[in-house]
C-alpha cells in the first residue's frame, strides 16, 4: 500500500479530488474546437451565444460531468462486485448489466424503432435491472442462498444469453446495427445534460449507499461464516449490494453505454494505494474511476483528431499498463 | 449445573438427507465441551447450526434459555462467538484489523469505536500473545500464529460462549497444544463456555470437561471423558478397535488404536 496511515490517506484523498476537478476543467477546455480557460469562465459568467460558448455549455460541460459520474460509479460497483464474488476479475458486468442493457436497446431499436439517446437511457436502465435481478435470483436458488460461485456462473450464463440474442437481432436487422453500434462501443460523447440529470438521483443514492455499507463490506470480506458469526445480516447486505450495483452500473450503462475495464482495474489500483479497508477503498475508487474516465476521454479526442477513439478503447490503453504493473508487483505489495 | 446452550428437537438436513435427527442436547455453562465422531457424522453441522450459520429444518437452539432464531443476530453475536473451520482472511488484512472486526457487534451508527472496544482488542491480543504481530498481514503468519489471530478476534467479541470448529486442524503438534492450552486457560480464568469440534480423541479427553459423541444422527453418549470413553464407544462411534488406557501424565483416558505397525514388544499384548 502506498498510503499507510489515515493522515496520509486524507491528504491523498484531497490530492485525488483536486486532480479530479482539474481534469473536469481540462475536459471542458480541451478538444477539437479551440477554446481557452478564459472562454470557459466567460461562458459561465456572461454567455454571449458564440459558437465556442455554446459548445462549452451544451457539449463539453455535460461530457465532463458525465465522464466523472460514470467513471466513479463503475469503479465503486467494481469494488462491491469483487468483494461480493471474492473474484479479483469480477466487474459490474458479472451482474449482467451490460448484456441486459445492450439487449434492451437492440430490442427497442428493432421492434419499436426507437432511435434517440434519451430513450436509450431508460430502455437500457430497464434492461440492466431485469438482467441483474435475473442473475441475482438464479444465483440465490438453493439452500445456502447467494454464493460467489453461483452468482458468477449465473452472471456468465445470463450475459452470454443476452449477448447472443443481441447478436441475433443485429444480424437480422442491419439498420439497427448501424444505429446501435455506436451505443454498444460505449461513449460519454454527445449526451445532453438532461440524460445525466435524469439518472443522477439514482447514482447519488448508489454513491451514498456504498459509503453507508462500507464497514459492513469489511466484515463480509472475511467470509460468509465469520461475517454471520459477527452478527452481520449477510442476506440483507447482499441485497443492498445488488441494488447499489444496479443503480450505479445500470445507471452508467444507461448514460454511456457499456464501458468496460474501469470496474475491474480501478478497484485493484485503489487497493494498492489505500489498502483493503472499504471505508477508504470505496471513496478513493470512486474518485480514481472518475479520473481515469476523464483522462481517457480527453486523450480520445487527440489521438486521431478530428475523429475520436471510443473511450472504452482509451480506458483499456491507459489502464492495461497500470494493471500489468500492479499484477507484477503483487496486488497487495507492501 | 447451569446450561449455556440447549437444543430442542433439533433436526438438521442438507436437502433431503437428515444429518441430525430430533436432537435434545444440553451444553453446560462454564465448561469445555467437545464434539467427537467420525467423518461426516454431523458434528460440524451441529456446531454450525448452534452458531446460527445453518438454519435447522426443525426444532430450536436456545442460548441462555432464549431461542436464537428469535434474537437479533447482533445480540447473539454479543453472547456467542464462532470460529469457523479454516477461515481465510482477505489478502493484506493485518492482525490488528482482523481482531478489531471482533468488535463489530458492538458498533452502531453513533458509536463507531469506543475506549471499551480498544480495551477488549488489547486484551485479546495480549491473551493470545500476538501483540508483536499486530501490524503484520494475517496471510504472512505461520499456521499457529494465524489461528491465534483468529481466536483473538473471537475473544475481542467478548462473549460468554465461544464455539470453534476444528481449531487445531492443519496445525503441528506444538501448535495444537498451544491453542488448546490457550482455550483451557480462558475457561479456567474467565469461566467462558467453550464448545468445539476436535478430531484427536486423546486431546479431547485431556481438555474436555464434557464430551458429546455423535453417531447415526444422534448423541451416542455424553459426559466426562473418564466416564464415557470406552472400547465399545470407540468401536461404535468411530468403527475402530482400540485399547483404552490411562494417560501416564494426566490420568485422562488414552486411546490406542489397534491395527498394523511395527511392534517391538517381545510379547504381543493385543
CATH number at residue B199: 3.40.50.300
Among B102, B129, B159, identify where a domain stops.
Answer: B159
| A233 touches B73 (CB < 8 A) | yes
Q: What is the rounded CA–CA span in Å between residue B181 and residue B187?
A: 10
Q: Which of A221, A226, A233 sits opposite B84 (nearest CB)?
A: A226
Kindly determine whether residue A230 and residue B77, on different chains, have CB atoms separated by under 8 Å.
yes
Regarding whether B60 and B173 lie in a shared domain, the answer is: yes
Regarding whether B65 and B196 lie in a shared domain, the answer is: yes
Regarding whether B186 and B145 lie in a shared domain, the answer is: no
Q: What are A151-169's pLDDT values in tens digits? A: 989 999 999 999 999 888 8
Q: Which of A143, A222, A229 sits opposite B90 (nearest CB)?
A: A222
H/E run at residue B187: helix B173-190
| A267 touches A54 (CB < 8 A) | no
User: B137: which DSSP letter?
Assistant: B
User: A20: which DSSP letter?
Assistant: H
Regarding whether B128 and B44 lie in a shared domain, the answer is: no
Question: pLDDT value at position A180?
Answer: 79
Question: pLDDT value at position A334?
Answer: 37
What pTM, to 2 d.p., does this model score? 0.90
Regarding whether B267 and B196 lie in a shared domain, the answer is: yes
Own/partner pairs, B146-149, CB within 8 angstroms, 24+ separation? B146/B89, B147/B171, B147/B175, B147/B179, B148/B178, B148/B179, B148/B182, B149/B89, B149/B95, B149/B98, B149/B99
Domain assignment of residue B211, yes or no: yes
Nearest residue to B209 (alpha-carbon basis) of B31, B29, B27: B31
Domain assignment of residue B77, yes or no: no
Question: pLDDT value at position B269?
Answer: 57
Nearest residue in chain A measured CA to CA from B154: A230
* C-alpha distance from A229 to closest chain B C-alpha (Å): 6
Nearest residue in chain B measured CA to CA from A221: B90
H/E run at residue A172: helix A148-172
- Provide the chain B residues 42-81 that lie in CB contact (below 8 A) with chain A: 48, 51-53, 72-78, 81
Among B159, B179, B208, identify where a domain stops.
Answer: B159
> Best mutation site among A230, A273, A326 for testing chain B: the one with the most B CBs within 10 Å?
A230
Domains of chain A by range and CATH? 6-329 (1.10.3470.10)
Regarding whether B126 and B67 lie in a shared domain, the answer is: no
Regarding whether B198 and B67 lie in a shared domain, the answer is: yes
Regarding whether B235 and B150 lie in a shared domain, the answer is: no
Domain assignment of residue B109, yes or no: yes
Please check whether residue B111 touches A, CB under 8 A.
no
Domain assignment of residue B78, yes or no: no
* C-alpha distance from A334 to closest chain B C-alpha (Å): 8
Domain assignment of residue B63, yes or no: yes
Q: What is the rounded CA–CA span in Å between residue B7 and residue A78?
A: 42
Size of chain A in residues:
334
The tally of domains found in chain B comes to 2
pLDDT along chain B (270 residues), means of 10: 91 88 93 94 93 92 93 95 92 93 89 88 92 93 92 94 93 91 93 95 96 92 95 94 94 93 74
Regarding whether B221 and B106 lie in a shared domain, the answer is: no
Regarding whether B98 and B34 lie in a shared domain, the answer is: no
Question: pLDDT value at position B241?
Answer: 93
Q: Which residues contact B109 (CB under 8 A, 6 or more apart)?
A: none
Domain assignment of residue B82, yes or no: no
Question: pLDDT value at position A332?
Answer: 47
Burial class (CB in 10 A: 0-12, 13-18, 19+), A2: exposed
pLDDT along chain A (334 residues), means of 10: 85 95 92 81 81 85 95 96 87 88 87 77 90 91 83 92 89 77 81 90 96 95 94 94 93 89 90 92 96 92 83 82 72 44
Among B159, B183, B209, identify where a domain stops.
Answer: B159
* C-alpha distance from A173 to closest chain B C-alpha (Å): 47
Contacts of B73 in chain A (CB under 8 A): 228, 231-233
Please check whether residue B91 touches A, CB under 8 A.
yes
Its domain, for residue B53, covers 1-71+166-270
Q: What is the DSSP annotation of A80-116?
A: HHHHHHT-TT--GGGGTHHHHHHHHHHHHHHHH----
Tracing cell 455423535 back to the chain, one arrives at B214
Predicted ipTM of the assembly: 0.91
Amino acid at each position: 500500500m502506498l498510503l499507510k496511515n489515515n493522515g496520509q490517506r486524507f491528504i491523498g484523498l484531497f490530492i485525488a479530488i483536486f486532480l479530479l476537478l482539474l481534469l473536469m476543467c481540462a475536459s471542458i477546455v480541451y478538444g477539437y474546437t479551440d477554446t481557452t480557460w478564459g472562454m470557459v469562465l466567460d461562458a459561465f459568467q456572461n454567455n454571449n451565444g458564440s459558437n465556442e460558448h455554446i459548445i462549452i455549455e451544451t457539449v463539453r460541460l455535460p461530457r465532463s460531468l458525465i465522464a466523472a459520474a460514470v467513471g466513479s460509479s463503475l469503479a465503486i460497483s467494481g469494488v462491491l462486485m469483487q468483494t461480493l464474488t471474492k473474484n479479483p476479475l469480477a466487474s459490474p458486468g458479472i451482474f449482467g448489466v451490460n448484456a441486459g442493457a445492450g439487449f434492451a436497446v437492440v430490442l427497442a431499436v428493432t421492434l419499436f424503432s426507437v432511435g434517440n439517446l434519451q430513450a436509450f437511457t431508460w430502455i437500457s436502465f430497464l434492461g440492466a435491472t431485469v438482467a441483474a435481478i435475473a442473475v441475482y435470483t438464479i444465483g440465490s436458488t438453493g439452500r445456502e442462498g447467494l454464493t460467489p460461485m453461483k452468482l458468477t456462473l449465473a452472471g456468465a450464463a445470463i450475459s452470454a444469453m443476452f449477448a447472443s440474442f443481441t447478436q441475433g437481432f443485429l444480424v437480422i436487422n442491419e439498420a439497427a446495427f448501424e444505429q446501435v453500434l455506436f451505443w454498444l462501443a460505449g461513449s460519454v460523447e454527445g449526451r445532453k445534460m438532461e440524460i445525466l440529470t435524469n439518472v443522477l438521483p439514482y447514482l447519488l443514492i448508489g454513491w451514498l449507499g456504498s459509503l453507508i455499507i462500507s464497514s459492513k463490506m469489511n466484515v463480509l470480506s472475511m467470509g460468509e461464516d465469520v461475517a454471520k458469526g459477527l452478527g452481520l445480516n449477510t442476506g440483507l447486505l447482499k441485497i443492498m449490494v445488488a441494488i447499489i450495483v444496479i443503480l450505479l452500473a445500470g445507471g452508467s450503462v444507461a448514460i454511456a453505454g457499456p464501458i468496460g475495464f474501469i470496474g475491474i482495474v480501478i478497484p485493484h489500483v485503489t487497493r494498492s494505494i489505500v489498502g483493503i479497508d472499504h471505508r477508504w477503498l470505496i471513496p478513493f475508487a470512486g474518485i480514481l474511476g472518475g479520473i481515469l474516465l476523464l483522462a481517457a476521454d480527453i486523450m480520445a479526442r487527440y489521438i486521431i483528431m478530428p475523429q475520436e477513439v471510443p473511450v472504452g478503447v482509451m480506458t483499456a490503453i491507459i489502464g492495461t499498463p497500470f494493471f500489468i504493473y500492479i499484477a507484477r508487483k503483487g496486488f497487495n505489495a507492501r | 449445573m447451569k446450561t449455556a446452550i440447549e437444543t430442542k428437537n433439533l433436526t438438521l438436513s442438507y436437502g433431503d438427507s437428515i444429518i441430525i435427527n430430533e436432537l435434545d442436547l444440553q451444553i453446560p455453562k462454564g465448561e469445555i465441551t467437545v464434539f467427537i465422531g467420525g467423518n461426516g457424522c454431523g458434528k460440524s453441522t451441529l456446531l454450525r447450526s448452534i452458531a446460527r450459520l445453518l438454519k435447522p429444518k426443525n426444532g430450536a437452539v436456545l442460548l441462555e434459555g432464549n431461542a436464537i432464531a428469535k434474537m437479533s443476530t447482533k445480540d447473539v453475536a454479543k453472547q456467542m462467538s464462532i470460529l469457523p473451520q479454516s477461515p481465510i482472511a482477505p489478502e493484506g488484512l493485518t492482525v490488528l484489523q482482523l481482531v478489531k472486526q471482533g468488535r463489530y457487534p458492538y458498533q452502531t451508527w453513533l458509536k463507531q469505536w469506543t475506549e471499551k472496544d480498544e480495551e477488549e482488542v488489547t486484551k485479546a491480543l495480549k491473551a493470545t500473545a500476538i501483540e508483536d504481530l499486530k501490524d503484520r498481514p494475517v496471510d504472512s503468519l505461520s499456521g499457529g500464529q494465524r489461528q491465534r489471530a483468529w481466536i483473538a478476534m473471537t475473544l475481542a467479541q467478548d462473549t460468554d460462549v465461544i464455539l470453534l470448529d476444528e481449531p487445531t486442524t492443519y496445525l503441528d503438534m506444538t501448535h495444537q497444544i498451544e491453542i488448546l492450552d490457550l482455550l483451557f486457560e480462558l475457561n479456567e480464568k474467565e469461566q467462558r463456555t467453550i464448545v468445539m469440534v476436535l478430531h484427536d480423541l486423546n486431546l479431547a479427553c485431556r481438555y474436555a470437561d464434557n464430551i458429546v459423541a455423535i453417531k447415526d444422527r444422534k448423541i451416542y453418549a455424553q459426559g466426562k471423558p473418564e466416564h464415557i470413553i470406552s472400547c465399545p464407544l470407540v468401536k461404535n462411534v468411530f468403527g475402530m478397535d482400540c485399547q483404552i488406557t490411562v494417560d501416564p501424565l494426566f490420568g485422562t483416558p488414552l486411546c490406542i488404536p489397534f491395527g498394523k505397525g511395527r511392534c517391538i514388544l517381545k510379547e504381543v499384548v493385543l
